[in-house]
Structure 1
Amino acid sequence: MIYVMVGGATGAVTRWLLAKGLSSFWGTAFVNIVGSLIGGFLIRLSLHEQVQLLLLTGFLGAFTTFSSLQIEGFKLIEDGKFAKGIAYTFLTLITSIGMAGIGVGVASFFVV
């Protein structure tokens, strides 16, 4: 439990600091895409259980913000920016899946 708490606190603060430096919508997209890349990389490695809890469950669980993505996409649609809301949500999801795949591919160079 400590590993998840420490990772979660660190991930949440890191997300907040990055999003603070970017606009609200782009900050959320950025952390989701980067988090997917890191997650794809980490799942390919043979990590000790405590490291998985710290980094994947804790840090990336708090760092990525797919619930915020849904809210922001809906808000754009609700504000009459239908195409922008759909594009924002769709592009973030597709890019995040792609980045997870890239992370897995990069990690395969490190796994013996």
Structure 2
Amino acid sequence: MHYIYIGLAGAFGAMLRYSAGLLFMTDHVFPYATLLVNLLGSFLLAWLTYGLFKKVRLEEKMKMVITTGFVGSFTTFSAVSVETVELFQNQSMLLGCVYIFVSLVGGLGMSEIGFRVGKGVSEK
């Protein structure tokens, strides 16, 4: 049954990811939607892990449903990889490098913010 819950949460995360892609779709070469989703997902995972889950006691299985199922399907490293290769193949080397840098440093920064916000929530 646990696998079914992870699958359902994953389906919801994937649908939300797809909707964000449609909402933030632009004619620009730069993959803004994927970047935004991954930065938000980095924040969300850290906030859940270090904040909400410290304050609200959930079974480990339910935490996995939320983090692996929902957040895992909402964010996507594979899309970052493919979109970066596409930028490079389209001779957009600078944009590709900016995308990698912002994805990595931005993701780490958003995780740090999520950690700090979550820690503040759990201490209240």
Shorter-normalised TM-score: what interval?
A: over 0.9
User: Are 1:88 and 2:99 an aligned pair?
Assistant: yes
Q: Which runs of 5+ in 1 are unaligned?
A: none
TM-score by length of 1: 0.93
Q: Which residue matches 1:6? A: 8
Matched, 1:15 2:47: no
Q: Match for 1:27 among 29, 33, 39?
A: 33
How much does 1:70 deviate?
A: 0.8
2:44 aligned partner: 38
- Structure 2 matches for 1:41-56, cutoff 5 A? 41-44=47-50, 45-46=53-54, 47-56=58-67
**Alignment length (residue pairs):** 112
Distance 2:104 2:5 in 1: 28
Q: What SS class does the counterpart of residue 111 from structure 1 fall into? A: helix
**Contact 1:3 1:50 (C-alpha < 8 Å) held by counterparts:** no
Aligned Cα root-mean-square deviation (Å)? 1.3
Q: Distance in 1 between matches of 2:81 and 2:41?
A: 16
Q: Deviations over 1:31-77 (max 9, x none)?
A: 10000000010111234213212210000110001110011011101
User: Does the 8 A contact of 1:3 with 1:53 survive in 2?
Assistant: no
Any gaps of 5 or more consecutive residues in structure 2?
none
Q: Secondary structure at 1:23's aligned position in 2?
A: coil
Moved more, 15-24 or 67-76: 15-24
Larger Rg: 2
TM-score for the superposition, normalised by structure 2: 0.85
